[in-house]
Amino acid sequence: MIRTTCIVSVLALAAGSTLADDLTPPTWRFNPGTTVQHWDFSAGPTGGPPDAPPFNNPYGTPIMVPTTGTNWLPAIFGRNDVWDITGGSLQFDIPNTGNSAHMKEIQIQVTYLALAPGVSPGYAVSGPSGMFTQVGGPSIIPLSNGWVHETTLWTIGVCPPFERIALFPGLAGVQFFVDQVVIDTQCIVPTPASASLLALGGVCALRRRR
């Protein structure tokens, strides 16, 4: 998939890098059939449920699990409660409606710092019905001290009962830190345009596998 980058300058960010990095909330947040969960990792090195607002998930308790090779740090590069995921990944399990007649959209916001130019997060977004297709982003907002805020949008043709989002360095061996993750989901009735987009994404995925 061809990745396009949108650089957005936000002057107000210079005054408050310690503010919660929920910088691009979707317009559909808190509508029926949606969820939102935010981790700022202030709960410490064990992972677990969301530990920062906003939070709304009527379908169950989301969980973040760090894999082997990750390391929680109380402070680094001007940020508190940071995961070094250089040798592993963070896995987010999000319970959902499981309405197979609807399609699912997921927006993911990640605040990260990579100690190499141009390295961004790697994602694996999946559910019981298969892998999600990236249909939006990455949209990039540079922050202070080398930190970056990235937003991506993902979709699949059914709304699974849960999805797993794995976050890892986009290039193996590069030291990579994650400070905050915000995940929004919605289950909606697919429109003809969205169905066509999903079909195109499936063709592209098939071509990549060949």
Interior/surface letters 188-207, b for 16+ CB within 10 angstroms, e for the rest: bebeeebeebbeebeeeeee
Residue with tokens 């760090």: 66
Residue 192 has a pLDDT of 57
- Tell me the C-alpha distance between 100 and 97, whole Å: 9
What type of residue sits at position 82?
V
pLDDT tens per residue, range 156-203 = 999 999 999 999 999 999 999 999 999 999 999 876 544 444 444 444
Q: Could you give all domains of the chain from N- to C-terminal order, each with its CATH number?
A: 26-209 (2.60.120)
pLDDT tens per residue, range 102-145 = 999 999 999 999 999 999 999 999 999 899 999 999 999 999 99
Contact 143, 177 (CB under 8 A): no
- Tell me the C-alpha distance between 156 and 132, whole Å: 5
Residue 205 has a pLDDT of 39
- Residues above pLDDT 90, as percent of the chain: 77
pLDDT tens per residue, range 54-99 = 999 999 999 999 999 999 999 999 999 999 999 999 999 999 988 8
- Tell me the C-alpha distance between 207 and 109, whole Å: 28
Q: Strand locations in the chain, DSSP E?
A: 6-7, 34-39, 52-56, 63-66, 71-76, 79-84, 90-95, 103-114, 121-127, 130-131, 133-142, 148-156, 162-169, 176-188
Residue 200 has a pLDDT of 41
Residue 204 has pLDDT above 60, yes or no: no
Rounded mean pLDDT of 2-31?
A: 62
Residue 74 neighbours by CB distance under 10 Å: 11
Residue 210 has pLDDT above 60, yes or no: no
Contact 21, 179 (CB under 8 A): yes
Question: Which tokens hold the place of 160?
Answer: 């699974």
Residue 10 has pLDDT above 80, yes or no: no
Residue 3 has pLDDT above 80, yes or no: no
